[in-house]
Structure 1
Amino acid sequence: MSTAREIMTAGAECVQAEETVLEAAEKMARLDVGSLPICGSDDRLQGMLTDRDIVVKVLAKGKDPKSCLAGELGEGKPVTIGADDDAREILRTMASHKVRRLPVIDGHTLIGMVALADVARALPDAPVGDLLDALTSD
């Protein structure tokens, strides 16, 4: 069975915790992505920042994206997957946390991102359908 390392998109870029939300949004636009891992000065993963976070937690609340820091938006311990975890473990993790993207770590180092579409290409239809049901149910 495929592992996260085999199906992930390698070379994921972080937004640094001390970068502004505006800088993060510009990076998202440049990379054409809807989320970025938030990394600290030690390059350890601190959370995830999504385009939705920017809209709901910054813009809709009247905060200034030029002064609000990305690190202020990363809440809780980030959900990750190990590089050698298999596709079924990725699905279980996505379903239990209701997420569609996971940072892939090797030790404490971010090495890539795995998205639902990556897993869908690597697995038969039934497990992917189960995940979609879990993600869309309340």
Structure 2
Amino acid sequence: MTTARQLMTAGVDCIGEEETVLRAAERMTELGVGAMPICGSDDKLKGMLTDRDIVVKALGVGKDPARTTAGELAQGRVVYVEADDDAQLVLRKMTEHKVRRLPVIEEHRLVGIIAQADVARALPDPQVGDLLEALSTD
């Protein structure tokens, strides 16, 4: 059985919920990523912030990225998996929630992230095809 731990990229950086959207964009640029988990001062996952969120929820509505915090853009319940959850649950959550990235939690702390590409590399083609189809439709 393949687990989330086997699929994930470990050592993921967080953006603090009180850090600005501008700082988040700078960090994404430095890291070459399109999304970052948002963590609270307690190191617990508070949300996910994507480059699209920055454009649509901040810049597109006239918010100042130097004054808007990452936490302000964290909306709704965070979708995540536990490190020992099996790959089928990972696929199901990505498909049901139409997310391309899933944070991985262990003992209430962020330990990694699973991207669509991680799934594509690790799982059989039919499962990957189902995921890609689900993520590509509205």
TM range (shorter): over 0.9
Deviations 1:51-90 (A, max 9, x none): 0000011111111100000000000111001101121111
The count of corresponding residues between Structure 1 and Structure 2 is: 138
Rounded to whole Å, the distance in 2 between the matches of 1:134 and 1:104 is 21
Alignment of 1:64 with 2:64, yes or no, is yes
> Once the 2 structures are TM-superposed, how far is the Cα of residue 107 of structure 1 from its aligned partner?
2.0
Give every structure 1 segment of 4 or more consecutive aligned residues whose post-TM-superposition deviation is greater than 2 Å.
Answer: none
Q: Is the 8 A contact 1:35 1:48 kept in 2?
A: yes
TM-score normalized by structure 1?
0.97
Rounded to whole Å, the distance in 2 between the matches of 1:124 and 1:22 is 39
What corresponds to 1:89 in structure 2? 89
Identical-pair percentage: 64
**Matched AA of 2:101:** R
**Structure 2: unaligned runs, 5 residues or longer:** none
Rounded to whole Å, the distance in 2 between the matches of 1:122 and 1:136 is 20
Rounded to whole Å, the distance in 2 between the matches of 1:28 and 1:81 is 22
Q: Which moved more, 1:1-10 or 1:20-29?
A: 1-10
Name the SS of the counterpart of 1:89 in structure 2.
helix
RMSD after superposition: 0.8
What corresponds to 2:79 in structure 1? 79
TM-score normalized by structure 2?
0.97
What corresponds to 1:122 in structure 2? 122
Rounded to whole Å, the distance in 2 between the matches of 1:60 and 1:45 is 25
Rounded to whole Å, the distance in 1 between the matches of 2:124 and 2:50 is 28
**Structure 1: unaligned runs, 5 residues or longer:** none
| Correspondence list, 1:47-58, <5 A | 47-58=47-58
What corresponds to 2:107 in structure 1? 107
Rounded to whole Å, the distance in 2 between the matches of 1:48 and 1:14 is 9
Name the SS of the counterpart of 1:121 in structure 2.
helix
